[in-house]
Structure 1
Amino acid sequence: MVDVTPSRVAANALRGHSLRYYDFVMAAFVAVLLLSNVLGAGKVAQIWLPGVGYWPFGAGILFFPVSYVIGDVLTEVYGYARARRVIWAGFGATMFMAAMAWVVVALPPAPDWTNQEAYESVFGQVPRIVFASMCAFWAGEFVNSYVLARMKLATGGRHLWMRTIGSTIAGQGIDSLIFYPLAFLGAEGWPTGLVITVLFTQWALKVAWEALLTPVTYIVVGWLKRAEGLDVFDDGTDFTPFGAKV
């Protein structure tokens, strides 16, 4: 099937419409979300900044913003309702991950397996981190998607860069303000000053990442719109986050 010029359609007109790549984008979103939470959220790294010195940052910043880029692509290409469905899928996946982590860590180790302490040090705080991540992710992603969809209607689909960056400023701001205090405030090795520093550093870096990835977003959005043959606008969309209906 050859790519075609996308045509403007209302999101609620897509019910029953066959979408070629929606499921793949959903899978990519959930995979990035889970891996970022498991591998990146709990580690503080540092980077040398000229004139500043070493500056701490959460290691998850390197990959977690990709989920926001994918979220932007979902809302821009498929509309708020289908992005909402993906957000709930990611939320359910993180709930399962938290439950699985708690069970696996709590299982009594075999006598000849000597890695329980190391395993607990790596995954033992996952439930708290994931709880914070779920709250922050849920609120931040819905703010991001809502702002992007509303801005698309307001601009008539123009200025994609302004919409993706603007929605990220709002969504990632909410995400960071919820996540870091819930996940790390009062935790061992996380003094309050460090939590605040990492919170604002992460917010700035995530927005900067979004800006740097804007050319990639343009390429992916343009290709998907042509491949699907549509450009979705959320005319008449119910913007409640409490639902998965499309």
Structure 2
Amino acid sequence: MIHNILKDKPTKLFLGFTAFFVANALIAECIGTKIFSLEKLFGISPFHFSLFGQKDLSVNLTCGVLLWPLEFVMTDIVNEYYGPKAVRRISYTAVILISYAFLMFYLAMEIPPADFWITTKIPQVANMNTAFGAIFGQGMWIILGSLVAFLVSQIVDVTIFHKIKNITGDKKVWLRATGSTLVSQLVDSYIVLFIAFKLGGNWTWQMVIAVGTVNYIYKALVALILTPVIYFVEGRIEKYVGHDVAHKMKLAAMGKESE
């Protein structure tokens, strides 16, 4: 049976998509503890602007946003060739494995460290165990907010994508890909902040809306920039599986019989 799986190109492609999707999501969650300045990344001073009455804002983002746009590109591609059921499957798989990973991080933090390991020769790090806990010990509200936002936004993305595809057929890939991503990213941007910092912290609604809007503008711009990537990947898929097979995959993804 394994030989049949390895010989079937659409199956191998789906396994590859699933592996990359889960790995990318897990990496994004792990590096998401670091906040960076987008302005400083481009060598300019922070803007310090006001939005919705919230003063002294700048474009500070979690490093996770560097990878999350790829998740939505992957979502659209899988939806295009395998359908919404496949997207839900890999999304649920990602959530389960990310939860498992954070459980292991928590257990690793609770394991008593060796005495020689605590003392470090790195001048900037006084206590290795404390540093380890600081890196991997994200607040539970942040973890919960991130996972809920990810799952809900994925469901929104796949639903809107499929509805637009039923109307446009194989045409206007950019419309269903970009449109579904723009809506799902809007949902994602506010859910994670609401759960992590409104329910789990002391943020005001004003701050949630202002920071969420800044984050969404960044994500929307990246989504628009990455639109050509979807066309490039689709071209590579057509070349890999063949035009006829790719066409049948798209029809099956829409719940139609092969023509």
TM-score by structure 1 length?
Answer: 0.79
Tell me if structure 2 keeps the 8 A contact 1:32–1:67: yes
SS in 2 for 1:45: strand
Tell me if structure 1 keeps the 8 A contact 2:109–2:133: yes
CA distance in 2, matches of 1:220, 1:17: 15
Residue equivalent to 1:56: 60
Task: For residue 55 of structure 1, report the CA deviation from its aligned partner.
Answer: 2.6
227, 230, 241: which one aligns with 2:246: 230
Alpha-carbon distance change, 58 to 196 in structure 1, aligned in 2, over 3 angstroms = farther
Select the structure of larger CA radius of gyration: 2
Residue equivalent to 2:170: 157
Task: For residue 183 of structure 1, report the CA deviation from its aligned partner.
Answer: 2.5
Q: Which amino acid aligns with 1:230?
A: A
Q: Which amino acid aligns with 2:114?
A: A
CA distance in 1, matches of 2:60, 2:183: 23
SS in 1 for 2:60: strand
Count of residue pairs brought into register by the alignment = 220
CA distance in 1, matches of 2:117, 2:209: 39
Task: For residue 97 of structure 1, report the CA deviation from its aligned partner.
Answer: 1.1
SS in 2 for 1:82: helix
CA distance in 2, matches of 1:101, 1:144: 30
1:177 and 2:226 matched: no
Q: Which amino acid aligns with 2:107?
A: V
Alpha-carbon distance change, 17 to 56 in structure 1, aligned in 2, over 3 angstroms = closer
Alpha-carbon distance change, 128 to 20 in structure 1, aligned in 2, over 3 angstroms = same
Deviations along 1:73-127, one digit per CA (max 9) or x if unpaired, are 1111221111121111111111111211111111122222221111111111154
CA distance in 2, matches of 1:101, 1:176: 25
Alpha-carbon distance change, 227 to 125 in structure 1, aligned in 2, over 3 angstroms = same
Q: How does 1:2-151 map to 2 (within 5 A)?
A: 19-39=11-31, 41-48=32-39, 52=47, 54-114=58-118, 115-125=128-138, 127-151=140-164
SS in 1 for 2:115: coil
Q: Which amino acid aligns with 1:91?
A: V
CA distance in 2, matches of 1:52, 1:196: 18
Tell me if structure 1 keeps the 8 A contact 2:161–2:176: yes
Alpha-carbon distance change, 187 to 130 in structure 1, aligned in 2, over 3 angstroms = closer
TM-score by structure 2 length?
Answer: 0.75
CA distance in 2, matches of 1:111, 1:150: 58
Alpha-carbon distance change, 91 to 51 in structure 1, aligned in 2, over 3 angstroms = closer
RMSD of Structure 2 on Structure 1 (CA): 2.6
1:200 and 2:201 matched: no
- Identity score, percent: 26
Residue equivalent to 2:52: none
Tell me if structure 1 keeps the 8 A contact 2:190–2:208: no
Deviations along 1:142-164, one digit per CA (max 9) or x if unpaired, are 11111111111111121111111
Task: For residue 44 of structure 1, report the CA deviation from its aligned partner.
Answer: 2.2
Q: Which one has more relative contact order, counting CA pairs under 8 Å at least 6 apart?
A: 1
Structure 1 spans left out of the alignment, 5+ residues: 1-15, 238-246
SS in 1 for 2:23: helix
Deviations along 1:4-57, one digit per CA (max 9) or x if unpaired, are xxxxxxxxxxxx995341110111111110000101x22222133789455322
Alpha-carbon distance change, 77 to 222 in structure 1, aligned in 2, over 3 angstroms = farther
CA distance in 2, matches of 1:186, 1:88: 24
